[in-house]
Amino acid sequence: MMDVEKQIMDFTVLTLFPELVSSFFEHGMIQRGIEAKLITGGCINIRDFSCDRHKTVDDRPYGGGSGMVMKPEPLEAAIAFAKKKTPGAKVILMTPQGTRFDQKKACDLAARKENLIFICGRYEGIDERVYNQHVDEEISIGDYVMTGGELAAMAIIDSVSRMIPGVLGSCASFQSDSFIDDRLEYAQYTRPEIFNNLKVPGVLLSGNHEKIKQWRQTSSLQRTFIKRPDLFKTQVPTTEEKQILRQWCRELTTLVNS
């Protein structure tokens, strides 16, 4: 049986601008994850699979209209090459028409550890026949249109990789992330203790782990309430959270009435 914990997750990016993506694999936590053999990542230049003299990768849309469409032949050949390299990989098309990416999706992809091939569209998109025959899933990183899918693919690879145990170094780090359980992360402080006349909250210097935990939970709830109250709709407050919010409400009432 395959040891799931030891399985390396591979990210392959099909792009017309490999330089844009390759440096991403050579820096920070992603580079560390690759060095630690927890993930692998690489780019394939779709243009390398164009067979004509001019290395053409795009053409005018049938039916007319502005812009160009990515030709099917080079893209299909690039997908076939990537699939041969990483058999069984899932093919994801980066497009604003896809399902919206979020932290839950990142967790999901990291847990599955399936190898992923990202198609980064350019111009007006890819030929529909390649989409129909080779794409397993479409993902968008938000309701806005970029000039290509590269930034979107990197955003996904980054957020998925950091959830793979070991990539962030310590196993703790991502458990307190924003959006875990639909709450934002608590406020953070580091040295110096006083900065611009502002002191770090005393409880964080107390060494009392239980009190620190409580303070952080309160901070997390306050931030969520102020910045992203919509998250209380997707994940309604627990009894404990309601108690904390009521206490905060009492403190605010005392403050405004004083």
C-beta of 138: minimal distance to ligand ADE in Å? Answer: 8
Q: Are strands 198-199 and 69-70 parallel, antiparallel or unpaired?
A: unpaired
Closest-approach residue to ligand ADE (CB): 152
Q: Which residues, including other chains, have CB under 8 Å from residue 25's CB and lie 6 or more apart?
A: 31, 34, 41, 42, 43
Least gap, CB of 120 to ligand ADE (angstroms): 8
- Judged by the rule CB under 6 A, the positions of this chain that interact with ligand ADE are 94-96, 140-142, 144-146, 149, 152
CB 110 within 8 A of CB 164: yes
Q: How far apart are CA 187 and CA 138, in angstroms?
A: 35
- Residue with smaller CB distance to ligand ADE, 104 or 199: 104
In DSSP terms, 70 is beta-bridged to: 58, 126
Enumerate residues 6+ apart whose C-beta is below 8 A from 120.
13, 14, 15, 16, 17, 21, 94, 148, 149, 150, 152, 153
Nearer to ligand ADE, 94 or 130 (CB): 94
Residue 110: both structure tokens together? 């990291």
Q: Which is nearer to ligand ADE, 146 or 204 (CB)?
A: 146
Decide whether 9 or 156 has the Cβ nearer to ligand ADE: 156
Question: Shortest CA distance to 157 belongs to which of 21, 37, 45, 46?
Answer: 21
Nearest-approach distance from CB 150 to ligand ADE, in angstroms: 8
Shortest CB 157 distance to ligand ADE, Å: 13
Which residues are marked as active site?
A: 96, 124, 162, 177
